Amino acid sequence: LIEGLSDEYLKIHLKQYITLHPHTSFQELRKVVLMWAPDKYDGLACHRISTDTTQEKTTDTNIVMKEQTAEQEITMAEMIRGLTQAVSELQQFKRETETLRQTDIQQAEIIRELTQTVKELLEFKRNYENRVQTGRPREGRRRDEQRDRRCFNCGRSGHVAAACRQTKHHPQHSSSSDDDHRRETRTLQ
């Protein structure tokens, strides 16, 4: 259709119109041509733009447009697939981030509990050391120093119960039962 026109400006105008309106029918294109310069085109010029050649050109243009549309649809489908994959990766990342955040919260709670336990243990240790130190003798005292030793038997100082003179010593007396027992032990051997 466009190549059959002799006016270059009309050709440019029609190409732009078809580009902007790809699904334009032949009748609409014919109106655009006739409105372009009605004084230039008389009945013979209009007849020259025949229906057959215009329809072939329009069909070719429609085929090209359909091919471009198909390519655009394929490109859009690939973009949609890529975006779908990106969305699923972002959702996975969100789940992992949520899991990490929950783990951080749990670990922070464990650390708080352990810190509290350590504080309690240190407090217990201080209390224990204070109790032990109050029960200990003075630090400067040595073991070999003379202590205030009292006898458990008489209560006087200066000696121990084993060396006490007031304890009664029991004389060992031999009894006949002890002698009999010794004899029996010897005979059994």
Domain ranges of the chain: 8-86
Amino acid at 167: T
High-pLDDT (> 90) share of the chain, %: 26
Distance CA 36, CA 21 (A): 17
Number of H helices, E strands in the chain: 5, 0
Distance CA 102, CA 98 (A): 6
3-state SS class at 175: coil
Residue range 141-153: mean pLDDT, rounded: 62
Please, what is the end-to-end C-alpha distance for the chain in angstroms? 145
Q: Which of 16, 14, 20 is nearest to 33 (CA)?
A: 14
Backbone angles phi, psi at 81, to 5 degrees: -60, -45
pLDDT score of 171: 47
3-state SS class at 112: helix
pLDDT per position as a tens digit, 59-97: 666 677 777 787 888 889 899 999 999 999 999 999 999
Identify which of 55-69, 92-106, 135-149 has the greatest average pLDDT: 92-106
| Higher-scoring residue by pLDDT: 93, 6 | 93
Burial of 159 (0-12, 13-18, 19+ CB in 10 A): middle
Q: Which of 78, 31, 26, 84 is nearest to 57 (CA)?
A: 26
Distance CA 33, CA 14 (A): 8
Angle (CA) 165 168 174, round 5°? 130
| Higher-scoring residue by pLDDT: 132, 169 | 132
Residue 157 bridge partners (DSSP): 150
Distance CA 186, CA 127 (A): 63
User: Position of tokens 């029960």?
Assistant: 135
Burial of 98 (0-12, 13-18, 19+ CB in 10 A): exposed
pLDDT score of 52: 47
